Structure 1
Amino acid sequence: MKGIVFLGERRLALVEVNDPTPGDGEVVVEIKASGMCGSDLHPYRALQDLSRPPESRVIGGHEPSGIVAAVGRGVPRHVALVGDRVMVHHYHGCTVCRHCRTGWPQLCEPITRTTYSANAHGAHAPYMKVSADTLVPLHDSLSFEAGAAIACGTGTAWGGLERLQPRGDETIAVFGQGPVGLSATLLASTRGSRVIAIDLDDDRLAMARQFGADETINAREANVAEVLRELTGGQGVEMVVETSGSPQAAAAGLQAIAVWGKVCMVGIGGKVTVDTQAMLDRQITVMTSYTMSTVAQKSCADFVVSRNLDLDRLFTHRWRLDQAEDAYRVFDAQVSGKGAFIF
C-alpha cells in the first residue's frame, strides 16, 4: 500500500510500504477518513533532512477513523471485532503505569509511548496497525469524518474545555479558529457559554459565527485585549482557550483575562513571557491541555451525539491520497476549514 510521509520544507512523498499484519494485542484498521491536523505542519515545514530517504520515514496522519479489518491474537472480543467502526487514540504507552491506566498514554511514566505518525506509521494510508487498547468506538450516527475530527482536533478542544470546567455562564475567548479553535467555539457555545472568537482571517471568523460565536475579532485589525475588555464591560473574559500557538495570541489572552480567570494553552509552538505580578494581582490560573484521554475521547463523541452536533461542517476539503501535495498546500495557507483524506 502507499502512504504519505513528510519530507520537510513543504515537501512530501507517497511511499510504498507492506500491508500491515496485526501481532499479539494488535488490530489493523481499514482507514476511512484520516484528518489533517495543524501539528502536521511542523514536520511539513521543518528543515529537510537529506540523509533520510522517504522510505525510512513513518507515514503521517494521527486522526484515524475506520473499520477493524483484522484482529491479532489475545484481543478480547469486547475490545475489537472485524467490522467494528472505530476511532484511534493516537498514543500507546506501557499500559500499566498510573497514567496509562487512566487513559493518558501520552503521559506514560516510563516514557515508552508510541505516537502514531511520529514514531510509528499513521493513518494517511489505506490501513493502519495499532494496539487494540487505542481503539475508541465510533457511534453509528457519526460519519467517519466526524470520527477523525474527534480523534484529535475536536477531542483536543474538548480536553481544553474539560480542563477549564466552564459552568455555562462564562464569557470564553477562543484564540484561533482553525479546526481545534472552531471545535472549541462549537462545544463551548453548546455548553451555554458566551464565546468570542479571534482569528486573522475573515472567512474563518464567518465560520466561527456559524458555529456559535457571539462576537468575533480580527486580530489584524484590532487590539484584541482592549476589545475583549470593551466587550466585557471592562472586566475581562473569565476564560481563554488559546489554540493557535501564537505568542501574540497568548499574550493578548493573558492581558484580557478577568480576576480569578483561567487560561488554557492548547496550541503548540509558541513561547510566552509572563508578568507574574500582573497575574498575581488578578489571581489568574494558567494551564495547559495535551489532547485528551481515551475516556475523554469517548465522552466527546457521546456529547456530539447527544447534542446532535454536525461535525461534518468542519470539513471544507476532502482529498484522495494522490492529491496530497495540493491538500497540504491549501492547508498550509491556514485560511480554510478542516481537511481529510477519504478512502
Structure 2
Amino acid sequence: MAPLPETQRAWVHRSKGGVPHFTLETIPVPRPGPEEILLKVEAAGMCASDLHILDGTTPLPGEYVLGHEIVGTVAAIGSDLASEQYPEGLRLAVHGPNGCGKCANCKRGFDNQCQDPVKKWYGLGINGGYEEYVVVRPAAVVPVPSEVSSEAAAVTTDAVLSPYHAVKRGGIGPDTRVLIIGLGGLGMNGLQIASHFGAKVIATDLDTSKLAIAKQFGAQETFEQLPEEPLFVDVVLDFVGTKETFESAKKHASPLGKIVPVGLGATELSIVPHVSAIMEHQFIFSFWGTTGELAECLDLVAKGVIQPTVETCPLEDVKDRLHKLEKGGVKGRVVAMPSLK
C-alpha cells in the first residue's frame, strides 16, 4: 500500500473545565492495530448531535475528533486482516455505533445496541470523520455501491439510516397511515422511506417551503399547522422531539397507534398513564440503526429510491457550517470533504 503521511488536519474536541472547545489542529496520522482498518476520509456528514456536544447540552467529555457520518477508502490494514478482503482504495461506509460484533445483541443483529461497556461511538467519544484519516474496526464497515457518491453515502450512515430504522421499528408497511412531524434532513428521508414501503403519509412542518417538496416525495397531505381534530393515524414519526410535538403525536395517534420519537429536542417527555392506557398507545423509541440496515439503505440510495439532499464543503469550513446548521440555514445535510479546497 502507498506510504502514509505523518500528519493530518483534524477538528479536535476537548473539554476544559466542563466547557467544550473545538479547534482545527495538525495531529499524527494513526496506524491501524492488528485487527483495524485505516481509512482515508472522503466524506464526513454534519449532524445536530455535533451541536449538542459543542453547546454542552449533550456533554461527551474527552479529547477526540468529531464527525460520526463517515465514508472513506482503505489506506492501510492491520497485520491480522487480509488485503484480498480489504484492498487499498475499497470504499467503505462506517457504522457509527461501533458494535463489538461479539455480545448477545450484536450477534442477534442489533449492533446499534451493543452491550460492550467500554466501547464508544465514532465521532462521539472516539475519533471520527472530521479529519483526513481515521481508524475503524472491520465489524463497523459496509461497502459503498459504485452508484452512490461518497457524500450521499456519508449522509446515509445516519440521516437515512436513523429514519429507516424508525420506519421499521414502527412496523410501517402498505396502507399504514403515517404522520411525519418535522421535514428536516431526517424527516424528509423518513417520508421517502415510508412512501417506498407503501404507507399513506401525512407530513407537517412550519416551513411551508418544505411542504411542496414533501408532496413530490410522496406525501398525500401536508400541513403547516396540524388540525384541531385528531387525524387518528396508525404511526407517528416525530423527527423534532420537543414536548410540543410529542403532545401532537399523542393527540393524532389512533387508538392502538404507535408513537416513535426520533428527534431528541427535549430532555423530558411526559406520558399520562391513564390516558395512554385507555388509548392503548405504543411508545417505541428508536436509535440510529444496524449495519445490516445500513447496507439496505445504501442499496435504496443506489436504486434512487431515496435521494438525500446534500451540500459539500472543505474540511476547514466545518465549524462555520455547523454554525450555519445551528441557525437553520441548511436545506438537507452538509458534508465535509477533505479533498476540497
TM-score tier, shorter chain, comes to 0.7 to 0.9
Match of 2:325 in 1: 331
SS in 1 for 2:289: coil
Match of 1:40 in 2: 50
Structure 1, 106-115 or 33-42: larger mean CA deviation: 106-115
Say whether the 8 Å CA contact 2:39–2:73 is kept in structure 1: yes
1:190 to 1:71, Cα distance in 2 relative to 1, 3 A: same
Asked if 1:276 corresponds to 2:273, the answer is: yes
Moved over 6 A (4+): 7-11
- Deviation of the 1:117 alpha carbon: 1.0
Q: Which amino acid aligns with 1:339?
A: V
The gaps in structure 1 that reach 5 residues or longer are: none
Query: Residues of 2 paired with 1:153 and 1:29: CA distance?
Result: 21
Written as runs of structure 1 = structure 2, the 5 A alignment for 1:93-132 is: 93-132=99-138
Asked if 1:257 corresponds to 2:253, the answer is: yes
Match of 1:150 in 2: 156
1:212 to 1:276, Cα distance in 2 relative to 1, 3 A: same
Q: Which amino acid aligns with 1:214?
A: Q
Say whether the 8 Å CA contact 2:313–2:334 is kept in structure 1: yes
Query: Residues of 1 paired with 2:133 and 2:211: CA distance?
Result: 35
Deviations 1:4-59 (A, max 9, x none): 2346889732122111211111001111111111211101222799xx9xxx7211
Q: 1:304 aligns with which of 301, 304, 308?
A: 301
SS in 1 for 2:228: helix
1:144 to 1:342, Cα distance in 2 relative to 1, 3 A: same
Q: Which amino acid aligns with 1:164?
A: G
Query: Residues of 1 paired with 2:200 and 2:150: CA distance?
Result: 30
Higher helix share: 1
Asked if 1:2 corresponds to 2:14, the answer is: no
Say whether the 8 Å CA contact 1:3–1:59 is kept in structure 2: yes
Match of 1:246 in 2: 242
Query: Residues of 2 paired with 1:7 and 1:198: CA distance?
Result: 38
Percent identity at matched positions?
25
Say whether the 8 Å CA contact 2:37–2:74 is kept in structure 1: yes
Match of 1:226 in 2: 228
Structure 1, 14-23 or 205-214: larger mean CA deviation: 205-214
Written as runs of structure 1 = structure 2, the 5 A alignment for 1:59-98 is: 59-77=65-83, 79-98=85-104
Match of 1:141 in 2: 147
SS in 2 for 1:302: helix
Match of 1:321 in 2: 315
SS in 2 for 1:151: helix
Query: Residues of 1 paired with 2:306 and 2:235: CA distance?
Result: 25
Considering only aligned residues, what root-mean-square deviation do their CA atoms show, in Å?
A: 2.3
- Deviation of the 1:175 alpha carbon: 1.5
SS in 2 for 1:311: coil
Query: Residues of 2 paired with 1:79 and 1:263: CA distance?
Result: 42
Query: Residues of 2 paired with 1:206 and 1:40: CA distance?
Result: 29
Written as runs of structure 1 = structure 2, the 5 A alignment for 1:281-300 is: 281-300=278-297
1:48 to 1:143, Cα distance in 2 relative to 1, 3 A: closer
1:134 to 1:334, Cα distance in 2 relative to 1, 3 A: same
Say whether the 8 Å CA contact 2:151–2:312 is kept in structure 1: no
Query: Residues of 2 paired with 1:259 and 1:300: CA distance?
Result: 31
Say whether the 8 Å CA contact 2:100–2:139 is kept in structure 1: no
- Deviation of the 1:79 alpha carbon: 4.5
Q: Which amino acid aligns with 1:12?
A: F
1:92 to 1:78, Cα distance in 2 relative to 1, 3 A: farther
Asked if 1:197 corresponds to 2:197, the answer is: no
Q: Which amino acid aligns with 1:81?
A: P
Q: 2:337 aligns with which of 313, 330, 342?
A: 342
SS in 2 for 1:153: helix
Deviations 1:170-198 (A, max 9, x none): 22111121211111011111222122222
Q: 2:31 aligns with which of 13, 21, 24?
A: 21
Query: Residues of 2 paired with 1:175 and 1:78: CA distance?
Result: 46
Q: Which amino acid aligns with 1:258?
A: S
Say whether the 8 Å CA contact 2:64–2:128 is kept in structure 1: yes
Deviations 1:220-276 (A, max 9, x none): xx3x3626x3xx4xxx11111112121211111011101221111212242211122
1:242 to 1:85, Cα distance in 2 relative to 1, 3 A: same
Say whether the 8 Å CA contact 1:7–1:48 is kept in structure 2: no
Query: Residues of 2 paired with 1:45 and 1:164: CA distance?
Result: 31
